[in-house]
């Protein structure tokens, strides 16, 4: 097994690192404070090919491998987890789902502008009473012959206020339960489609999280993804791949906090020496470095298996479960190492600690990941 990165992968990693340092870092604290979406930065990410990294170039994508995606996600999330989640949703949930399951007409019309970064997309699954339990869809899509009539509410939708296209999961035939669920491509601005207020969040405050309201929205039949009743399987398949994106985001948050803590520990003095020379601090950093390396290996393994066409439900859940815990633990310790300075916004680590928490919640809580893993290992 070769753990060495290719020259191309190293170039992608460096390009993402330079972009994060030069474009994302300068105003990241201001965007967090003001809940400001990184509009210009996301536009540049699209121009760099970061919003459709793994999509075939014939549909406007960059045609990269999943390991390159992990590398780029880590570098972006080190500096700005809000920008990273925009990138994750567009790549892992929207573009990946469309490339694999959409019709050729849908790919040309929707995937191409999404993968090329002309517009961004959103994935609308969660509802007030249907978060991790995707089978409990209350949003309905009534079959009217040439179109579906969409009604309901979606909650916690990333890119909700800025997306141009939305993949919406809805129940068409309640008697069939999960086999009656469908997935639809809905365009911003359609009559009856409203975007609710922006959520005031603990972390990733620069990202765009809204509720979506559908009131008799007419969705053309050609905008259904796959055969009738395919929606639930579509959502589960997309979320499996999406866990790599969230695991990589968590990895980046942890890496960013660790690098800041290490730098601080090498310059801050206490008891006449740099604090890194005290075992109490050095051992914390040793644990952080070890856990981050282990999380990175899980992300790489999930990425390699995905590209090999293997079932990644178990390894993807492991990567997300472990990386999100490492992100939480590492950011807490980074604040501790910084002491009082860690509690103020100027030193960034308090923001990373707030950002870390969401990685344990979205795309399935940590408990959901354990259910996925336990079911897999018990077979």
The catalytic residue positions are 363
Which of helix, strand or coil describes residue 216? Answer: strand
The alpha carbon dihedral of 303, 295, 369, 225 has a sign of: negative
Separation between Cα atoms, residue 228 and residue 249, nearest integer Å: 34
Separation between Cα atoms, residue 75 and residue 68, nearest integer Å: 11
Residue with tokens 């993949």: 167
Residue 238 burial class via C-beta count within 10 angstroms: exposed 0-12, middle 13-18, buried 19 and up: buried
Distances from the Cα of 300 to the Cα of 70, 115, 240, 271, angstroms: 7, 22, 15, 41
Residue 322 · residue 330 · CB < 8 Å? no
Instruction: Count the helices and strands in the chain (H runs, E runs).
Output: 13, 9
Residue 180 · residue 171 · CB < 8 Å? yes
Residue 39 burial class via C-beta count within 10 angstroms: exposed 0-12, middle 13-18, buried 19 and up: exposed
């Amino acid at each position: 097994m070769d753990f060495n990165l290719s020259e191309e992968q190293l170039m992608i990693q460096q390009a993402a690192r330079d972009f994060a340092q030069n474009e994302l870092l300068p105003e990241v604290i201001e965007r967090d404070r003001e809940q400001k979406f990184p509009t210009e930065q996301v536009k540049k990410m699209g121009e760099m090919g970061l919003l459709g990294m793994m999509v075939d170039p014939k549909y406007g994508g960059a045609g990269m491998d999943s390991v390159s995606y992990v590398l780029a996600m880590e570098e972006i999330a080190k500096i700005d987890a809000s920008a990273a989640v925009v990138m994750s949703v567009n790549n892992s949930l929207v573009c990946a789902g469309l490339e694999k399951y959409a019709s050729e007409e849908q790919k040309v019309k929707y995937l191409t502008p999404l993968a090329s970064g002309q517009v961004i997309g959103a994935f609308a699954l969660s509802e007030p009473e249907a978060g991790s339990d995707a089978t409990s869809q209350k949003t309905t899509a009534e079959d009217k012959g040439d179109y579906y009539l969409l009604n309901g509410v979606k909650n916690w939708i990333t890119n909700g206020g800025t997306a141009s296209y939305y993949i919406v999961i809805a129940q068409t035939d309640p008697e069939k339960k999960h086999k009656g669920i469908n997935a639809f491509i809905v365009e911003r601005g359609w009559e009856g489609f409203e975007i609710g207020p922006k959520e005031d969040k603990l972390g990733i405050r620069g990202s765009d999280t809204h509720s979506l309201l559908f009131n008799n929205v007419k969705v053309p039949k050609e905008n259904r993804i796959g055969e009738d009743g395919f929606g639930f399987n579509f959502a589960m398949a997309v979320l499996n791949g999406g866990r790599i994106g969230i695991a990589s985001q968590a990895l980046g948050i942890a890496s960013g906090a660790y690098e800041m803590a290490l730098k601080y520990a090498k310059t801050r003095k206490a008891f006449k020496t740099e604090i890194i020379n005290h075992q109490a601090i050095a051992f914390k950093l040793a644990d952080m470095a070890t856990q981050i390396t282990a999380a990175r290996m899980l992300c790489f393994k999930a990425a390699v298996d995905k590209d090999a066409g293997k079932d990644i439900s178990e390894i993807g859940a492991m990567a997300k479960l472990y990386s999100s815990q490492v992100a939480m633990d590492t950011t807490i310790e980074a604040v501790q190492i910084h002491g009082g300075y860690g509690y103020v916004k100027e030193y960034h680590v308090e923001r990373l600690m707030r950002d870390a928490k969401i990685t344990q919640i979205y795309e399935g809580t940590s408990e959901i990941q354990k259910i996925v893993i336990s079911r897999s290992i018990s077979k």
